[in-house]
């Protein structure tokens, strides 16, 4: 079996290379910036696009004429606006599209037990079967393109926005002193903020370009204002109780405090 990865030198590209080799594929890299010969794509059983979000759509268009019928064309972008439609167009040419979003990063050892969003393009059953074959042991979650991007505005874009804003609040502070004084809450938050700030700028920009983020961020600022205005009143108690009651609907909510304390203890050990 032959696989070609466009963007094989990136973090997820390298992860996919090793993963596909483990599955028995002969894996080749392809880079449109190196003027690689696109005719080699027609020899691949699987073509994977692992490039920045804002490049994915153009890459699909530039290679579509070189992909053979029945070839699987998989893309893994974190946002699907514009990309999903390009894949839909390819189905008319006999190409098997696979629109997925692995909910793990390149430091992950295995996809077993990890969530894999599958965004159906033409044949849900066939695409789910292919996804199971390419990512054995992953937890497949089916979601349409619009709902995927809306959810990612909460799962990815909003945390990135919040942590970048928080990082701005730390400028001119004594970071070492803050870290030494930190308890369970700040320790976990500080690690996340440091991690996000050190992500690739283009990735961050792409995530903050999520079409649904503006509405979510406005809701966030309203919530902050409401909490500050309600402080010291009965309304604050009501807001807190309403939030706690809603979040407690999650079946594992009673495990969250222990998870936070365990994470903080691990962080503190790492800092020592």
Q: Taking residues 12-39, what's their average pLDDT?
A: 88
How much of the chain exceeds pLDDT 70, in percent? 100
Averaged confidence pLDDT in the chain: 94
**Helix/strand/coil for 5:** strand
**pLDDT of the residue at 42:** 85
pTM equals: 0.90
Q: Which whole number is the average pLDDT over 174-192?
A: 92
pLDDT per position as a tens digit, 198-241: 999 999 999 999 999 999 999 999 999 999 999 999 999 999 99
Asked if 264 and 183 count as a contact pair (C-beta separation under 8 A), the reply is yes
User: Which one, of 102, 125, 126, 103, lies nearest residue 49 by Cα?
Assistant: 102
Q: How confident is the model at residue 264 (pLDDT cuts 50, 70, 90)?
A: confident
Count of Cβ atoms closer than 10 Å to residue 193 Cβ: 20
Q: 10 Å Cβ neighbour count for 220?
A: 15
Long-range contacts of 13-20 (CB under 8 A, 24+ apart): 13/48, 13/50, 14/106, 15/105, 15/106, 15/108, 16/48, 16/50, 16/76, 19/111, 20/46, 20/48, 20/134
């Amino acid at each position: 079996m032959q696989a070609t990865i466009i963007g094989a030198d990136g973090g997820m590209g390298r992860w996919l290379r090793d993963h596909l080799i483990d599955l028995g594929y002969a894996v080749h890299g392809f880079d449109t910036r190196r003027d690689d010969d696109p005719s080699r794509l027609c020899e691949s059983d699987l073509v994977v696009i692992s490039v920045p979000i804002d490049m994915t759509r153009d890459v699909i268009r530039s290679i579509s004429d070189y992909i053979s019928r029945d070839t699987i064309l998989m893309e893994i972008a974190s946002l699907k606006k514009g990309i999903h439609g390009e894949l839909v167009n390819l189905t008319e040419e006999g190409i098997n599209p696979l629109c997925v979003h692995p909910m793990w990063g390149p430091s992950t050892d295995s996809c077993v037990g990890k969530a894999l969003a599958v965004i159906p393009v033409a044949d849900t059953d066939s695409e789910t079967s292919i996804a199971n074959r390419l990512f054995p042991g992953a937890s497949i979650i089916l979601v349409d393109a619009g709902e995927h991007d809306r959810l990612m505005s909460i799962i990815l874009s909003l945390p990135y926005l919040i942590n970048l804003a928080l990082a701005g609040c730390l400028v001119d502070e004594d970071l070492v002193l803050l870290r030494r004084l930190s308890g369970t809450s700040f320790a976990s938050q500080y690690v996340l903020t440091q991690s996000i700030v050190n992500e690739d700028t283009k990735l961050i920009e792409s995530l903050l370009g999520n079409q649904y983020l503006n509405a979510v961020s406005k809701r966030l600022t309203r919530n902050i204002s409401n909490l500050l205005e309600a402080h010291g009143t009965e309304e604050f108690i009501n807001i807190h109780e309403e939030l706690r009651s809603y979040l407690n609907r999650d079946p594992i909510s009673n495990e969250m405090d222990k998870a936070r304390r365990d994470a903080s203890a691990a962080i503190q050990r790492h800092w020592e």
